[in-house]
Chain A
């Protein structure tokens, strides 16, 4: 066998050593990849980022019995340091659980290594496990359920009901995904089928009750302005998504496994996730997991075989890995754009402490969740709630005060919040930013590019 061909085959001793210690290496990779953003946020003190994080913190602030899922977050939110560490802990839990799961179902070490490597390097994974994300939590719960269900010990199998119950409280789509995974596991484990069915009955019932009676949403979010291509392929500017290299590898993997019985369990998720993604792009983490799986299959198949041009094999191997890492590095470059910034937190906290007005705050929807969390006042428009969308657009498009003032009064808006993102998106010489020069607007707080304007009554 030609030595230059032994990249991921047993002939390559370095790679075999990597596989031998892959648990430690992958855990280390998780730790490094997820803690780097904390330093890159470039703030005097680290702050939790992402609109979805603040959405959940707002939900956790006032919980009732039906939202018992938010109780751990409710407790954690009293200590900001724990909030920062929580996503990281979830990320490490994911790694540990998946490694255990892979061992239980006999997934090859090569596939495990490359699947986790591609997944960890995906912006979607890094973003989801550095912010508070329902889907990242769901994946950990789903994995925990599967790991417990596959345990040889009976009591552990019975314990699976806890994460199963918890996992059904995210959204309907996630619940369907969970039960699809369990069905696949049950089909493979004929001897435990009856036990699994009994264990799953209660969570299934709860999921149905959640969906039909408790108005559980089909999918959480969206928490950002959706763009299907950009949200999928991070290289086009998205803050989640996957590398285009991973995507292409996944296409090759899907083509290689098409109509192969042993991979049907993966292929059935393709249409399911595609439809879900078209409806709501917040599920990029699920897409990243599926594409990483297919990409790993393709990668292993391509580089296990003997090439006619051995040198080209090495170069292509390197190109792929470099390309995927390039996406991650490019993502790190942009992650500091994810708000809120320390300035935002300071300005909004100031507002909370110094403003008695009961009105609504107007700003771009990216800021809405942080606005409500830090200031205590509601924002006009949130991405996940389209109720005030028309009013929001009308205010943004107003070019004269005769249009603007009635809109602000109708919607009880007393504060306009401007930060660097608002200034980047809208021109200063026309529209809302220009109209702020009117005497009815008073700047009550300003720090660097952050401004808080009060809209005064006549």
Chain B
């Protein structure tokens, strides 16, 4: 550990980025939800504006567009397919750097922050390398904002925080930052510690700006859905998928056992002996994400990600305390070996889990992509296509056709009924029921991919009949052309 910490940091970031890129290009295609964002970027590139109203279905999409504009700007220089794999991984690879910076603020030990960087770099929850979503930008921005907030006394960081907050408000996940700031005020109040005036002013500004931006973009969502906008209009049967009950096993797996245990230890210890306002600030984020997860205000995946990164940062404090303790004992000569042991332990527990997460990403296969692309060339432009919920974006992105439903639930009317009908289409053995659904949603083609077969435990459409459902495309994926209707044709 005689090398300058900067060199070690560069090494960590480089290796992280390299691992991520290797995985990103090894695993084919993107995660299912990424295709919605890809479509938005393409639309911005063509027309200059996001697709807030679907061209095919006329339905309204509500989302924050900064990420899409950012990528669209770069897509004039580089192919989108390459950019979409590289840029999100670049963003996430910057997290170790930011974690290092934050950890440096809470420790005085020269090398302790490097452990935070290392853990952040290989957090399994962050190894969704093929995910092209705004969260990949929002996360580093949030932690950079936290880093800036810790140094508000310097004017440049004050302006940096404001700029970052404005950007996060237009990207996503700003609620996590707001919640953390809010809990920070409460914890300071309970501990009878005064919050500096400039921090209070920034928190006021952040809160009201966040609300204002959200009301500008999501006004119709609030009016139509009321408080249930917090649960994104997700069908009840799917809520547990996005907001599962807390699973300790899953949390340990995705955050890794050492940072998890150490982070919880540091949090509990610091809660009862809060000596440093910076630690209070970071722990507020642990508390806020825990509370939000408990009340299902944010998705489990997002809260666990933030939770994991904060625990990684707090690991530096643990290391420093352990180092100081050992320095006072007869084991002080083995401090360097301690660092090595910890690195080996961390890497051996984290790297396999991270790679496993990367390799097990839920992505469509090449054959499925081919099938959806076939739709564009062989079906009428106004045809309605049915596929599973996850594959909805593949219909619109590759097939350029209208779908029944996808994972953008906001402002979808009768979302429960629609979801139930979609499931029925793949499970009902009754032809009339299937035709009732295809008539209701004006569906001309039904796609049964290997993923759909696995999900519904079917080999083909259960209501299949040669007369009414003719396979127009047959490979691993089958695309049925609906040839019957229950409507009276005059």
Contacts and interface: CB of A to CB of B under 8 A. Distances in A.
A103 B434 CA distance: 72
Given A319-B212, A323-B211, A323-B212, A312 B201 contact: yes
Interface in A191-235: 227, 229-230, 235
B209 interface: yes
Q: Tell which of B197, B205, B216 has the most Cβ of chain A within 10 Å.
A: B205
A309 B208 contact: no
Interface string B197-240: 11001101101110110011001001110110000000000000
A237 B205 contact: no
A319 B205 contact: yes
B224 A237 contact: yes
Interface residue tally on B, bucketed by range: 20 to 34
A92 to B, nearest CB: 30
Contacts of A236: 222-223, 226-227
Contact of A308 (B198, B211, B216, B227): B198
B102 interface: no
B387 interface: no
Contact of B211 (A237, A245, A330): A245
Contacts of B215: 235, 244, 323, 326-327, 330
B158 interface: yes
Interface in A298-319: 302, 307-309, 312-313, 315-316, 319
Contacts of B219: 235, 330
B226 A323 contact: no
Nearest to B216: A326
A334 interface: yes
A444 interface: no
B202 A312 contact: yes
A302 B222 CA distance: 28
A316 B204 CA distance: 8
Interface in B142-181: 158, 162
Nearest to A311: B162
A319 B209 contact: yes
A145 B248 CA distance: 62
A245 B212 CA distance: 9
Given A230-B226, A307-B197, A320 B202 contact: no
Contacts of A237: 222-224, 226
B485 to A, nearest CB: 16
Interface in B13-43: none
Interface residues of A, number: 25
B208 A316 contact: yes
A319 B224 CA distance: 24
Contacts of A326: 212, 215-216
Contacts of A322: 212
Nearest to B204: A316
Nearest to B158: A309
Interface string A234-252: 0111000000110010000
Contacts of B227: 229-230, 236
Say whether chain A's binding surface is mostly helix, strand, loop, or mixed: helix
A312 B205 contact: yes
B197 A308 contact: yes
Contacts of A229: 226-227
Contacts of A309: 158, 198, 201-202
A248 B209 CA distance: 13
A315 B205 contact: yes
Nearest to B417: A427
Contacts of B204: 302, 316
B200 to A, nearest CB: 9
A209 B476 CA distance: 82
Nearest to B227: A229
Given A227-B226, A236-B222, A236-B223, A248 B197 contact: no
A302 B207 CA distance: 14
A237 B228 CA distance: 12
Contact of B223 (A245, A302, A319, A330): A330
Contacts of A248: 207-208, 211
A302 B203 CA distance: 13
B211 A316 contact: no
B201 A308 contact: yes
Contacts of B211: 244-245, 248, 323
Contacts of B209: 315, 319
A126 to B, nearest CB: 17
Interface string B58-95: 00000000000000000000000000000000000000
Contacts of B212: 319, 322-323, 326
Interface string A168-186: 0000000000000000000
A227 B204 CA distance: 29
Contacts of B205: 312, 315-316, 319
Q: Tell which of B158, B197, B215 has the most Cβ of chain A within 10 Å.
A: B215
A309 B162 CA distance: 11
B201 A307 contact: yes
A235 B222 contact: yes
Interface in A365-407: none
Contacts of B202: 309, 312
Contacts of A327: 215
Q: Tell which of A227, A248, A319 has the most Cβ of chain B within 10 Å.
A: A319
Contacts of A245: 208, 211
A242 to B, nearest CB: 14
A307 B219 CA distance: 31
A309 B209 CA distance: 16
Nearest to A429: B440
B309 to A, nearest CB: 27
A320 B204 CA distance: 10
A334 B226 contact: no
Contacts of A334: 223
A230 B224 CA distance: 11
Nearest to B209: A319
B167 to A, nearest CB: 16
Interface string A74-100: 000000000000000000000000000
Nearest to A315: B205
B190 to A, nearest CB: 13
22 contacts: A227-B226, A235-B215, A236-B222, A237-B222, A237-B223, A244-B215, A302-B204, A309-B158, A309-B198, A309-B201, A312-B201, A312-B205, A316-B201, A319-B209, A319-B212, A320-B208, A323-B208, A323-B215, A326-B212, A330-B219, A330-B223, A334-B223
Given A312-B162, A312-B202, A315-B205, 11 more contacts: A229-B227, A235-B223, A245-B208, A245-B211, A248-B211, A309-B202, A312-B205, A313-B201, A322-B212, A323-B208, A330-B215
Ranked nearest first, the 7 interchain pairs of A and B with the lowest CB-CB distance are A237-B223, A308-B198, A236-B226, A319-B208, A316-B205, A308-B197, A323-B212
